[in-house]
Structures are given as structure tokens and as C-alpha cells.
């Protein structure tokens, strides 16, 4: 990594004019961008407030797109790059909101979620119970030597933390350490590790998973045509997962046992 400049990403800004209680106009937004550039920031996430009780996601995103287009037309060429995003206030049913991807940081599944400032209820904890970390996130991780001891650190994709160690406990513990550091030393009480064979086993345990195919996968299965509704079982789930490389995200039809956010 020597000689290489790592850019700075500002994950939380109220940069877009007239979107919320942040920037009041284009001039203020441009001044904010100028100051960020002076501090070495080269990517800015425009996390305008989103409140589901005030407007649907589609209306919010339409306003955001207009504000972003207007600001971009006035930006100098050397200004930091802006990514559309949101600061989404928790709302009932957020785990089932189909438009949630629109609120995430542009081209990611990363959502800035604003929880209530009071004590969280069991209902809220049930809604927000799964934290998904992108396997391609660039993070600092311990490097293990042949004897399992830490010999240094490296910055690489999160998924590579497991490559250090013996492929079992050492590798899992290295993953735990890496994720804990990523979450500002948040303690992790436990973990479990499975190989790809678990995909079929788990699919059968939940009684199958039904999906609507938005891409043609007939190269894997003649019945998997675009638009078909398919119930995955232990016989075909792993083949389905492996055939989806490079295609769009499928929308699952949640089985009755699923709580919000389970898949």
C-alpha cells in the first residue's frame, strides 16, 4: 500500500439543497463541497432525512434525484463525487419495505438507519436484527503466520480474513476480530461457520424458498425461465445460487414463518 493514497469518504452529510434541515440552497451546498475537498474528502454520501410517515420512498427519491441533478450541474469538475443515499428513520415494517434498496447508499446495500432516541422496544429489535456486511468491504485485518500468531495487518476484502489461519477455528476467530474492529470494537459473542453444502440443508429446513426469476436461467434448469415463480428445495438451491452470478437480484416471496428481515 506504500505510495498509494486512500481517498476519504464522508458517509453522513445533509448536502443536498432544500431536502431537509441541512443545506438551504445551492450556494451553501457548493461551499460544503469546497470545504470537504480542502480536507481531502473525495466521495460524499448525500444522506438526506427520510421519514416514512411523511412520504413514500418513491417520492423521496424523486425529490432527491432532482436536487442532486441541480447540484451536479453547478459543481466544479474537481468537486468530490456525490452518492445518493439517505438517513432513514426507523419505521414499522422497514424489514419488508420493497423499496428499501432505493434508500441505501448508491449501488450498495448499505443503509444509514436512524433509530429512536428512547429505549429500543422488542419490536424494533426484531425488525432490525440482521446486520449484513458486504464481503467486498475493504478493511484492516490481522495477518496470521504459519503458527497461527499475528505477524502484522493488511487492508483487503473482508472475505479474505478467513483465508488466514487453519480454515477452521483460527480462520473464524480472525474473521471475528476483523468484524469487531470494523464495528469499532463491538464485542461479538459467538459465531457459526458452514460450507456451501449448508445452502441445500437450510433450504429444506425452512420448507423451501419461493422466488420470482427476473433473469433467464434456463442454462441451469430448462424450467427457470424469466418471470417464472420457482420454489427452491434442497435439490436445486445451491445450483440456483451459483447460477446467479452477474444477474439481477431476485425478489423472494417470504414463507409464512419468516419475520421481517429474516432473508
Q: Is 146 a member of any domain? A: yes
pLDDT class of 79 with cuts at 50, 70, 90: very high
Q: Do 27 and 50 lie in a common domain? A: yes
pLDDT on residue 25: 96
Domain boundary among 85, 102, 127: 127
pLDDT class of 249 with cuts at 50, 70, 90: low
Number of domains in the chain: 3
Query: Which SS3 state, helix, strand or coil, does residue 25 take?
Result: coil
CA distance 69 to 206: 45
Instruction: Count Cα neighbours of 173 within 13 Å in the Cβ-side half-sphere.
Output: 10
Domain boundary among 182, 213, 245: 182
Neighbours of 174 (CB within 10 A): 23
Per-residue pLDDT reduced to its tens digit, 138-164: 889 999 888 878 889 989 999 899 888
Q: Do 233 and 158 lie in a common domain? A: no
E strand spans, the chain: 8-13, 41-46, 49-50, 81-84, 87-89, 112-114, 138-144, 150-157, 209-212, 229-232, 251-253
* Domain CATH code at residue 25: 3.20.20.140
Mean pLDDT (the chain, rounded): 84
The C-alpha cell of 131 is what? 446486520
Regarding pTM above 0.75, the answer is no
pLDDT class of 3 with cuts at 50, 70, 90: very low
Domain boundary among 154, 182, 210: 182
Q: Is 192 a member of any domain? A: no
Residue 257 reports pLDDT greater than 60: no
Residue whose C-alpha is closest to residue 19's, from 83, 62, 58: 62
Residue 82 reports pLDDT greater than 60: yes
Q: What is the mean pLDDT of residues 237-253?
A: 65
Which domain covers residue 20, as residue numbers? 8-127
Amino acid at each position: 500500500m506504500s505510495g498509494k493514497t486512500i481517498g476519504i469518504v464522508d458517509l453522513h452529510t445533509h448536502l443536498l439543497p432544500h431536502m431537509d434541515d441541512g443545506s438551504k440552497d445551492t450556494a451553501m451546498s457548493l461551499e460544503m463541497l469546497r470545504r470537504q475537498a480542502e480536507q481531502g474528502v473525495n466521495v460524499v454520501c448525500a444522506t438526506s432525512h427520510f421519514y416514512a410517515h411523511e412520504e413514500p420512498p418513491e417520492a423521496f427519491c424523486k425529490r432527491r434525484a432532482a436536487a442532486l441533478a441541480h447540484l451536479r450541474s453547478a459543481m466544479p469538475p474537481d468537486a468530490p463525487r456525490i452518492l445518493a443515499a439517505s438517513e432513514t428513520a426507523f419505521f414499522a415494517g422497514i424489514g419488508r419495505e420493497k423499496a428499501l434498496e432505493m434508500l441505501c447508499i448508491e449501488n450498495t446495500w448499505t443503509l444509514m438507519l436512524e433509530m429512536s432516541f428512547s429505549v429500543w422496544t422488542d419490536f424494533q429489535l426484531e425488525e432490525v436484527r440482521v446486520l449484513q456486511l458486504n464481503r467486498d468491504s475493504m478493511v484492516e485485518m490481522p495477518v496470521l503466520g504459519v503458527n497461527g500468531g499475528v505477524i502484522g495487518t493488511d487492508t483487503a476484502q473482508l472475505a479474505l480474513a478467513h483465508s488466514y489461519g487453519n480454515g477452521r477455528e483460527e480462520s473464524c476467530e480472525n474473521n471475528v476480530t476483523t468484524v469487531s474492529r470494523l464495528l469499532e470494537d463491538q464485542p461479538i459473542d459467538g459465531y457459526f461457520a458452514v460450507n456451501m453444502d449448508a445452502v441445500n440443508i437450510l433450504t429444506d429446513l425452512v420448507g423451501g424458498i419461493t422466488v420470482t426469476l427476473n433473469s433467464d436461467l434456463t442454462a441451469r434448469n430448462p424450467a427457470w425461465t424469466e418471470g417464472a415463480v420457482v420454489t427452491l428445495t434442497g435439490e436445486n438451491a445451491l445450483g440456483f445460487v451459483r447460477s446467479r452470478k452477474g444477474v439481477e437480484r431476485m425478489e423472494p416471496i417470504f414463507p409464512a414463518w419468516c419475520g421481517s428481515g429474516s432473508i
